[in-house]
Amino acid sequence: MPKRIKKVLVANRAEIAVRVIRALRELGITSVAVYSDVDRVALHTRLADEAYHIGPPPAIESYLRIDKILEVARKSRVDAIHPGYGFLAENPEFARQVEDAGLIFIGPPADAIEAMGSKTRARQMMKAAGLQVIPGAMEGITDDKTALDMAKQIGYPVLIKAALGGGGKGMRVVTEPKDLIHDMDASRRESKSAFGDETVYLEKYLEHPRHIEFQILADNHGNVIHLNERECSIQRRHQKVIEEAPSVIVTPEIRQKMGEAAKQAAQACGYRNAGTVEFLVDKHRNYYFLEMNTRLQVEHPVTELTTGIDLVKEQIAIAEGRRLRFKQDEIPLRGHAIECRIYAEDVLAGFLPSTGRITYLNPPDGPGIREDTGINEGGEITIHYDPMISKLLVWGSDRHEAIDRMIRALKEYHLTGVKTTIPFCLAVMENEQFQKGEFDTRFVDQEFHGTYLEETGRQLEPTIAVGALLYHLRMSQHGKLTPHPESGAPISPWKIHGRRLNLDRLST
């Protein structure tokens, strides 16, 4: 018998917390937010029905404190907890403690999180289940001789990977034997620092790979479906920055085979709720299991736009014990969607984080555009959390229309106060290889360099000028411009913000 969820604590912040809170509101479910000191007036805090303080800005003292979150859950009398993504979303101990407290965890079972959280254990399980895995070690490598023997066996180049965690941390490509031991030691140190575990392993580095992932949903009654694929090959430092659905290289036949493999992976680990099975596809269209993300993905909206299915609402329905509403042959694939992650980073300074207050914000609008964000004008990008400002999404009847629409949207995106990755995203959209669909995971490293981005920056200078003038007009209307001490005239917006129309001060 399905258990009706009436009140949910969202154990996260920013964009994903806002996304979940809005879904809860549409379902008539009361939402509870948590916040650190710097998020006291954040968008997710203000949108929730209730909000509770959980500590100072460092995540280790707030959003990662299981005890504080469970204390709020008891105090607010919620039925369930949604972890979002990041922070505690893939922490099996958190999932266990939530269930031990008599609450519903809106996510997979702790055992599935634990099994898929270890890349080596996941590889073992998937191989046993009949999936093709990338050639390499099936367990952590602890000594130099084993590493050298394994690398020789699978052939260079090889990839060193941390057994736990993700985001590219602890990952290194090795092309020659003389570098292997040094890079293994460096990867161990980085893995220990990032994940508290120094275990690393080796696998064959696939050349010219595409990163293709499948969204899956699994209920508590043994039903599993996939919701088609997402192309996530546009990456920098092994992190996704632009995603789209469907992939230009996936034919209906490949989609059917990879989708069945994704469902097989979910069944092998006893999975429930929403998850993502990731594959690497080589130049011959052979696909290999890479890993499984046991949570909602950052890029889940591209699937929503191409299927019309709200994944957060499906997560909640599954958590209530309901059966899946769809069968596999009922999952549509409509048009084409693209997502650009807009980060507060300085493109021309090697994508270094750009902190500060957003002084002017006017996101794009119009047909086929969606923006998922957790910040608005006046909000601050701090050193404490991920610098993502928003996820800009577009839908088109086909890939060509989607690209054209994203170009238009990026050019209409006006923001001052911090530097952003908008110029980079625009450069990708206008890149000939991207438009032709001829790219792989090395695309950013191969196609982008200073002169390319500088030219993109120059093309955006008129946009910067318009944004600054609009801000100047708004402040004038509200009497917020300081008069010049000698002339009495309002000070130029360029002087107020310290910005000039030149490339090294690019702020959009």
Residues 336-387: tens digit of each pLDDT: 999 999 999 998 888 999 999 999 999 999 999 999 999 999 999 999 999 9
The C-alpha angle with vertex 321 and arms to 315 and 326, in degrees rounded to 5, equals 60
Question: Under a CB-based contact definition with an 8 Å cutoff, are residues 448 and 424 in contact?
Answer: yes
| Per-residue confidence (pLDDT) for residue 380, from 0 to 100 | 94
CA distance 130 to 127: 5
- DSSP assignments along 433-494, one per residue: HHHHT---TTHHHHH--HHHHHHHHHHTHHHHHHHHHHHHHHHHHTT-SPBPTTT-SBPPHH
Q: What is the CATH number of domain 109-133+207-334?
A: 3.30.470.20
Give 381's Cβ-side CA count (13 Å radius). 24
pLDDT band at 313 (very low <50, low <70, confident <90, very high): very high
Q: What is the pLDDT of residue 498?
A: 41
Predicted local distance difference test score (pLDDT) of residue 506: 37
- For 51, counting Cβ atoms within 10 Å of its Cβ (0-12 exposed, 13-18 middle, 19+ buried), the class is buried
Q: Which CATH superfamily is domain 335-459 in?
A: ATP-grasp fold, B domain (3.30.470.20)
Options 3.30.1490.20, 3.40.50.970, 2.60.40.10, 3.30.70.2860; CATH for 135-204 is 3.30.1490.20
pLDDT average, residue stretch 442-461: 67
- Catalytically annotated residue among 123, 295, 341, 399: 295
What tens digit of pLDDT does each residue of 75-99 get?
A: 999 999 999 999 999 999 999 999 9
Separation CA 121–CA 126 (nearest Å): 9
**Residue 455: CB atoms within 10 Å:** 12
* Confidence band for 41, pLDDT divided at 50, 70 and 90: very high
Tell me the per-residue pLDDT of 179-214, one tens digit each, with 9 for 90 and over. Answer: 999 999 999 999 888 888 899 999 999 989 999 999
Give residue 240's pLDDT.
95
> So what's the pLDDT on residue 491?
45
Q: Which two tokens stand for residue 256?
A: 């059917």
CB neighbour class for 253 (10 Å; exposed up to 12, middle 13-18, buried from 19): exposed
User: Predicted confidence band at 470 (pLDDT cuts at 50, 70, 90)?
Assistant: low
- In DSSP terms, 9 is beta-bridged to 32, 81
DSSP 4: P
Of residues 221 and 166, more confidently modeled: 221
Closest CA to 132 of 284, 324, 350: 284
For position 350, what pLDDT does the model report?
Answer: 86
pLDDT at 31: 98
Query: Which residue stretches of 49-179 are H helix?
Result: 66-76, 92-100, 110-117, 119-128, 144-154
Give the CATH class of 7-106: alpha beta
Calculate the average pLDDT of the chain.
90
Is the alpha carbon torsion for 253, 255, 261, 266 positive or negative? Answer: negative
Q: Which residues of the chain are in CATH 3.30.470.20 domains?
A: 109-133+207-334, 335-459
Res. 317 pLDDT band, cuts 50 70 90: very high
Cα gap 413→374, rounded to integer Å: 16
Contact 304, 312 (CB under 8 A): no
State the average pLDDT over residues 213-232: 98
pLDDT at 410 over 70: yes
- 500 pLDDT band, cuts 50/70/90, is very low
Whether 96 is a known active-site residue: answer no
Express each pLDDT in 90-127 by its tens digit: 999 999 999 999 999 999 999 999 999 998 999 999 99
Measure the CA–CA gap between 42 and 46, rounded to whole angstroms. 6
174/144 Cα distance (integer angstroms): 14
Domain span(s) for CATH 3.40.50.20 in the chain: 7-106
Query: Residue 505: what pLDDT?
Result: 34
Burial of 321 (0-12, 13-18, 19+ CB in 10 A): middle
E strands in 283-363: 287-293, 336-343, 345-346, 352-353, 356-357, 360-362
Which residue intervals of the chain bear CATH 3.30.1490.20? Answer: 135-204
> By the 8 A CB rule, do 388 and 13 touch?
no
Task: Determine contact, residues 296/85, Cβ cutoff 8 Å.
Answer: yes
User: Can you give the pTM of this predicted structure?
Assistant: 0.87
